[in-house]
Amino acid sequence: MPDTSSSPKPMLIDGVWVSSAESIATIDPATGLANFEVAAAGAGQVDAAVESAWRAVRQPAWRDMLAHQRAALLRRIADGMDKHAERLARLQMIENGKVWAECKAQVAGAAATFRYYAGVCETVSAEVTPARGNYLSMTQYEPYGVVAAITPWNSPLTMEAQKVAPALAAGNAVILKPSEVTPSPALELGRIALEAGLPPGILNVLPGLGGNAGRLLVAHPGVRMVSFTGGTASGRAIARVAADKLMPVALELGGKSPHIVCADADLDAAVAGVIGGIFEGSGQSCVAGSRLFVHRDIQAVFLDKLLARTRAIRVDLPDAQGAQMGPIASFAHRDRIESMVRGACEEGGEVLAGGRRPDDERLAQGAFYLPTVIGGLGPQACAVREEIFGPVLVVLAFEDEDDLVAQANDSAYGLAAGIWTADYRRAWRVARQLEAGSVWINTYKQLSISTPFGGYKQSGLGREKGVSGLRLYQQSKGIYFAM
Q: Are residues 159 and 281 in the same domain?
A: no
- Could you give the CA distance from residue 28 to residue 32 in angstroms, rounded to a whole number? 5
CATH number of domain containing 141: 3.40.605.10
Known catalytic residues are 252
Q: Which tens digits make up the pLDDT trace of 56-90?
A: 999 999 999 999 999 999 999 999 999 999 999 99
Q: Is the pLDDT at 451 greater than 50, yes or no? A: yes
| Same domain as 188, residue 213 | yes
Q: Does 1 reside within a domain?
A: no
Q: Considering the chain, what percentage of its residues have pLDDT values greater than 70?
A: 99
Query: Phi and psi for 181 in degrees, rounded to 5?
Result: -75, -35
Are residues 320 and 302 part of one domain? yes
- Is the pLDDT at 22 greater than 80? The verdict is yes
pLDDT on residue 407: 98
Check whether residue 475 and residue 391 sit in a common domain: no
88-108 pLDDT per residue, tens = 999 999 999 999 999 999 999
Contact 55, 62 (CB under 8 A): no
Higher-pLDDT residue of 10 and 3 is 10
Residues 291 and 337 occupy one common structural domain: yes
CA angle 123, 125, 126 (to 5 degrees): 170
In a domain, 336, yes or no: yes
Triad 274, 280, 282: Cα angle to 5°: 115
Q: CATH no. for residue 343? A: 3.40.309.10
Give the pairing of strands 413-414 and 16-18.
unpaired
How high is the pLDDT of residue 271?
A: 98
Taking residues 11-37, what's their average pLDDT?
Answer: 97
- Find all residues with CB under 8 Å of 217, minimum gap 6, and list them: 46, 50, 148, 150, 175, 177, 206, 223, 226
With 90 as the cut, is the pLDDT of residue 279 above it? yes
Mean pLDDT of the chain: 97
Query: Is 378 in the same domain as 420?
Result: yes
Whether 399 shows a pLDDT value over 70: the answer reads yes
240 shares a domain with 276:
no
**Model confidence pLDDT, tens digit, residues 213-270:** 999 999 999 999 999 999 999 999 999 999 999 999 999 999 999 999 999 999 999 9
Inside any domain, residue 290: yes
Query: What's the rounded mean pLDDT across residues 396-410?
Result: 98
- The crossing angle, in degrees rounded to 10, of helices 184-195 and 156-169 is 40
**Would the pLDDT of 174 be above 70?**
yes
CA distance 448 to 116: 10
Mean pLDDT of 135-146: 97
Tell whether 389 and 464 lie within a shared domain: no
**286, part of any domain:** yes
pTM of the entire predicted model: 0.96
Question: 276 and 150, same structural domain?
Answer: no
- Percent pLDDT > 90 in the chain is 98
List, for residues 365-387, the tens digit of each pLDDT value. Answer: 999 999 999 999 999 999 999 99
Q: Residue 94's domain spans which residues?
A: 11-253+459-482
pLDDT at 2: 37
Residue 7's pLDDT is 85
- pLDDT over 80 (residue 151): yes
pLDDT at 48 over 60: yes
Domains of the chain: total: 2
Query: Does position 185 have pLDDT exceeding 80, yes or no?
Result: yes
Same domain, 230 and 265: no
Whether 284 maps to a domain, the answer reads: yes
In a domain, 401, yes or no: yes
Packing angle between helix 67-83 and helix 85-96, nearest 10 degrees? 70
- Are both 355 and 304 inside the same structural domain? yes
| Residue 63 lies inside a defined structural domain of this protein | yes
Residue 5 has what pLDDT?
52
Q: How confident is the model at residue 6 (pLDDT cuts 50, 70, 90)?
A: low
- Residue 453 and residue 114 in contact, taking contact as beta carbons nearer than 8 Å: no
Provide the pLDDT confidence category of residue 3 given band limits of 50, 70 and 90.
very low
* Residues 296 and 221 occupy one common structural domain: no
Q: Is residue 452 assigned to a domain?
A: no
